[in-house]
Amino acid sequence: MPELAGRDRIEQAAGGELAGIFAGQRTRVEIHAPNFDQIASGEWQQQEREILFLLILLMGSTFMLGSFRVGAEEGVTLRQPEVELRAERWAQTRARELAGQIVATSRERIKNGWATLGLDYDLDAAFGADRADGIVITETTAANTAGEQDVAAEFERRGAVVTKLWITERDEKVCPICGRLDGEDQYRWAIDFPTGPPAHPRCRCTLKFEVEYETESAVA
């Protein structure tokens, strides 16, 4: 079964970093409660920059791990500078979009939660470690899949026919959504999930490729 090497270590480190960023913003929010409009926009922007930097590192490195793993499995040597460039471009684009969404969601949850529950509102919904872990797990999967798909596209450019199989972790955490997709090819899952995993928050699935060339020379 294809695996992302060191996934647990990567997620633990990145999750801890993101939780730390959240904790800093939580402290600032608690100081201003309930007058959240007094939090300077620059403070939110600083949090967004910190998240952006973290996500770029996480996504770029994971994209590359996914690419080189698939290349090694198929016995294809990839040009590292080209993979690095594509990883950087993908990570920059995805991270910029996501960092803004994360901060916007935090602000919305605070606003709505306080309006509904007042002093009883639990800031963990906006700044808890569980949220940080969920984001990191989901985006590790997204970056790994992007790296895998990038190599698959390279195989196809070389004239290969690529079958893409959805693979779950095959443990007790596998959800019904992904469980029914395990071992299925792209003709089954691409309608609902065009880019592949993640299918949902905290998804840990990956892809496995069956690559067929018409001629042996196309592999070189």
Q: Would the pLDDT of 219 be above 60? A: no
Residue 188: inside a domain, yes or no?
Answer: no
The structure's pTM equals 0.90
Mean pLDDT of 75-85: 92
Q: Please state the domain count of the chain.
A: 1
pLDDT of residue 220: 47
Residue 36: inside a domain, yes or no?
Answer: yes
pLDDT of residue 2: 66
Residue 16: inside a domain, yes or no?
Answer: yes
Structural domain that includes position 24: 7-158
pLDDT of residue 118: 58
Provide the pLDDT confidence category of residue 77 given band limits of 50, 70 and 90.
Answer: confident
**Host H or E run for residue 30:** helix 7-32
Mean pLDDT of 146-172: 92
Residue 129: inside a domain, yes or no?
Answer: yes
Q: Would the pLDDT of 60 be above 70? A: yes
Residue 200: inside a domain, yes or no?
Answer: no
Residue 215: inside a domain, yes or no?
Answer: no
Residue 177: inside a domain, yes or no?
Answer: no
Residue 212: inside a domain, yes or no?
Answer: no
